[in-house]
């Protein structure tokens, strides 16, 4: 009996030593998470995404972002490293930038610009040929280029989600995001890149997982998703407030992801997952978060399936709030809006959900427009 007791005691001692001392990649920083109010006005649950229908992408998975090209095709980034195109009901390979392409935007010359989490900024010409625009900043490689927007003057604004937890070295973009959010160490940055002369300006740093980026139609301000802080920032690019940053939306009920410019000055945001109660509770307990990081992966906080996107204006007024309680298409990262449709991008799966805007219970003039959308360069009557 004494031997059994001693063995149990030894195992417990080993377990305690492991939980207290085993090295992990994160050094959690104390902060105070805002109280999660849940899905209350203006984010209350509904079923407005229930009529979305998935476009099957076959072998291609992880349609994390999409854009409408000047040719009316839908171009989609995928986890296999391909950018695919959707045209006349057909899905086909358009280009292979490799790595993990995430954010994608159509430029004014018809080319596509991609934020590749493994390889930096890339340009894809109309024939699918890939060139690297930017692979490093100040002599340091970009290790998690995330999202981008192209300003009226051609400036490419883009985010590096984390300068510590590289997407490739961490085992993937999702795995890197879990590490960065667990640490909350302020490793995210946002840059302005001038492709004509190669100049790069650091606009914001010390962000907690810098994510979505969108620029206003007039180029006066930039919006940035700070996922780890559950908020949207507004950074002024010109005018009396140039160079200053303010909080536009805060204490969001989920982890905010991509930002996309829509019609009539709208910006669309994907809330990839609800907030995690344990993670919030431990926000001011860095030592405990470090212990949690030593637990098996299945026991650590992770994304919970949900389907939730919102639209808001440059003043922070929420204009549309769309859910699917059944989460048929979970982990929605964002929205690409055209005259007829909302395309819902997602981190996982091999379907690109599409919602006909006639299914939205809002006045026709609110959701339809026949001219080019702010922040987009191509025609809005997509060819699918």
Which of these, 236, 239, 279, 237, lies nearest to 255 by C-alpha position?
279
Question: In this structure, how many other beta carbons lie within 10 angstroms of the beta carbon of residue 244?
Answer: 11
Residue-level pLDDT at 369 = 46
Sign of CA dihedral 66, 174, 91, 341: negative
pLDDT classification of 24: cutoffs 50, 70, 90: confident
- Percent of the chain whose predicted confidence (pLDDT) is above 70: 88
In this structure, what token pair is assigned to residue 376?
């987009």
Regarding beta strands 83-87 and 90-95, do their DSSP bridges make them parallel or antiparallel, or are they unpaired? Answer: antiparallel
Q: Name the pTM for this structure.
A: 0.92
Residue 175, classified by CB atoms within 10 Å of its CB into exposed (0-12), middle (13-18) or buried (19+), is middle
Residue-level pLDDT at 23 = 79
Average pLDDT estimate for 112-122: 98
- Percent of the chain whose predicted confidence (pLDDT) is above 90: 84
pLDDT classification of 84: cutoffs 50, 70, 90: very high
Q: Which of left, alpha, beta for 102 (phi over 0: left; psi -120 to 50: alpha)? A: alpha
Sign of CA dihedral 47, 49, 52, 58: negative
Q: Where are the domains of the chain?
A: 28-367
Query: What is the spatial distance between Cα 206 and Cα 59, in angstroms, rounded to a whole number?
Result: 38
**What tens digit of pLDDT does each residue of 237-259 get?**
999 999 999 999 999 999 999 99
CA 348, distance to chain mean position in Å, is 13
Three-state DSSP at 281 gives helix
Which of these, 104, 284, 100, 232, lies nearest to 177 by C-alpha position?
100
The verdict on domain 28-367 having CATH code 2.120.10.30 is: yes
pLDDT classification of 7: cutoffs 50, 70, 90: low
Residues in the chain: 384
* DSSP class of 72: S
In this structure, what token pair is assigned to residue 82?
């391909």
Residue-level pLDDT at 323 = 98
Q: What number of H helices and E strands is found in the chain?
A: 5, 26
Instruction: Tally the C-alpha atoms within 13 A of residue 229's C-alpha that lie toward its C-beta.
Output: 24
Q: Which residues of 317-335 are buried (b: 16+ CB within 10 A; e: fewer)?
A: eebbbbbbeeebbbbbbbb
Separation in Å, CA 121 to CA 96, 167, 195, 228, 234: 14, 14, 10, 23, 23
Mean of per-residue pLDDT scores for the chain = 91
Torsion angle of alpha carbons 32, 312, 46, 43, nearest 10°? Answer: 20
Report whether pLDDT(62) > 80: yes
**What tens digit of pLDDT does each residue of 163-209 get?**
999 999 999 999 999 999 999 999 999 999 999 999 999 999 999 99
């Amino acid at each position: 009996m004494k031997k059994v007791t001693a063995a149990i005691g030894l195992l417990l001692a080993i377990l305690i030593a492991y939980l207290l001392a085993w090295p992990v990649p994160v050094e959690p920083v104390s902060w105070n998470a805002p109280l999660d109010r849940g899905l209350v006005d203006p984010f209350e649950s509904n079923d407005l995404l229930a009529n979305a229908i998935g476009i099957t992408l076959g072998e291609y998975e992880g349609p994390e972002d999409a854009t409408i090209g000047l040719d009316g095709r839908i171009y989609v980034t995928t986890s296999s490293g391909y950018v695919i195109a959707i045209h006349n009901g057909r899905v086909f390979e358009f280009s292979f930038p490799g790595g993990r392409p995430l954010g994608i935007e159509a430029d004014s010359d018809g080319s596509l610009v991609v934020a590749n989490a493994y390889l930096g900024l890339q340009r894809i010409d109309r024939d699918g040929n890939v060139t690297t625009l930017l692979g490093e900043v100040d002599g340091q490689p970009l290790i998690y280029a995330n999202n981008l927007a192209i300003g009226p003057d051609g400036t490419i604004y883009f985010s590096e989600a984390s300068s510590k937890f590289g997407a490739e070295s961490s085992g993937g973009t999702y795995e890197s995001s879990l590490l960065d959010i667990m640490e909350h160490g302020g490793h995210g940055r946002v840059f302005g890149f001038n492709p004509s002369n190669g100049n790069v300006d650091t606009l914001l740093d010390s962000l907690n997982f810098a994510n979505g980026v969108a620029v206003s139609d007039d180029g006066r301000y930039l919006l940035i998703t700070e996922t780890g802080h559950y908020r949207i920032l507004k950074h002024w690019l010109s005018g009396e407030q140039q160079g200053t940053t303010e909080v536009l939306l805060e204490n969001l009920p989920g982890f905010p992801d991509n930002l996309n410019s829509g019609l009539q000055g709208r910006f669309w945001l994907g809330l990839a997952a609800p907030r995690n109660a344990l993670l919030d509770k431990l926000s001011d307990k860095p030592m405990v978060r470090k212990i949690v990081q030593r637990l098996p992966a299945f026991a650590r906080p992770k994304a919970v399936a949900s389907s939730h996107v919102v639209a808001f204006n440059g003043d922070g007024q929420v204009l549309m709030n769309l859910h699917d309680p059944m989460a048929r298409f979970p982990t929605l990262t964002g929205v690409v809006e055209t005259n007829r449709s909302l395309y819902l991008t997602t981190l996982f799966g091999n379907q690109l959900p599409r919602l006909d805007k006639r299914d939205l219970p809002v006045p026709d003039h609110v959701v339809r427009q026949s001219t080019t959308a702010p922040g987009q360069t191509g025609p809005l009557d997509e060819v699918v």
